[in-house]
Amino acid sequence: MWFDRTKLLIGDDGVKKLALSHVAVIGIGGVGGYAAVLLARAGVGKITIVDFDKVDETNINRQIVADTETIGQYKTDVMQKMIAKINPNCTIRVLAQRISNENVETVLGNDCDYVVDAIDNVADKVDLINYCKKHSINIVSAMGAGNRYTIPNFEVLDIFKTQNDGLAKALRKKLRDLKDVTSLDVVCSSQAAVKIENDQIGSISYQPAMCGCVLAGFVVNKLLKNK
């Protein structure tokens, strides 16, 4: 079977735990796309993928859903096809929409074991994080993966202990005003970002991918331990 090598590491019980798990990946871009694929390859049995955006030519340098044939397609549709080919037993929920206070309850449902926040927008991240914390839903959030090109060094920290991350700084400021958020697991890099004119964000192939790898690895280990 395709998961035999995984079974050698985590055993039958581990394989069953992952197969019974539901993970929601919010944002199927450079970071979230890789996280979703790796969760599928690990054997997660149900994955909800959420993104309102379509593939653009500028995504090709870093996003697993992007190539010359997928330009103009919804990222969620491309990811659904990818996951179905990797893990035919995976139940895939596809939501081509933007997460908000109005739809977050419906998006996550009542059986979500973990949420991967791979959203770029600070306001949307705050809404998602606040909802998860209020309802005791496990969540891990991706911080900035742009404007860096050296060897990646992503790690999992509490957001209130991060440094050299503009997205984390902006998010911390918002989260301090929320009584339900006293801590938050985030995947971040301590590398200083490159300064680019006009506040544009540069990117390279491997930085978002590595952030997605760490997110997926963190979630898989939590599922194996807690479920």
- Number of domains composing the chain: 1
Q: Are 186 and 157 in contact (CB under 8 A)?
A: yes
Q: What CATH number does the domain containing 130 carry?
A: 3.40.50.720
Q: Would you state the pLDDT for residue 189?
A: 94
Mean pLDDT of 90-110: 94
Average pLDDT, the chain: 95
| Confidence category of residue 215, pLDDT binned at 50, 70, 90 | very high
pLDDT at 227 over 70: no
What tokens appear for 171 in the block?
């998010």
Element of type H or E holding 142: strand 139-142
| Buried-exposed string 157-182: b where 16+ CB fall within 10 A, e elsewhere | bebeebeebebbeebbeebeeeeebe
Task: Tell me the residue range of the domain where 167 lies.
Answer: 4-226
What is the per-residue pLDDT across 202-212, written as a single tens digit (0 to 9) for each?
999 999 999 99
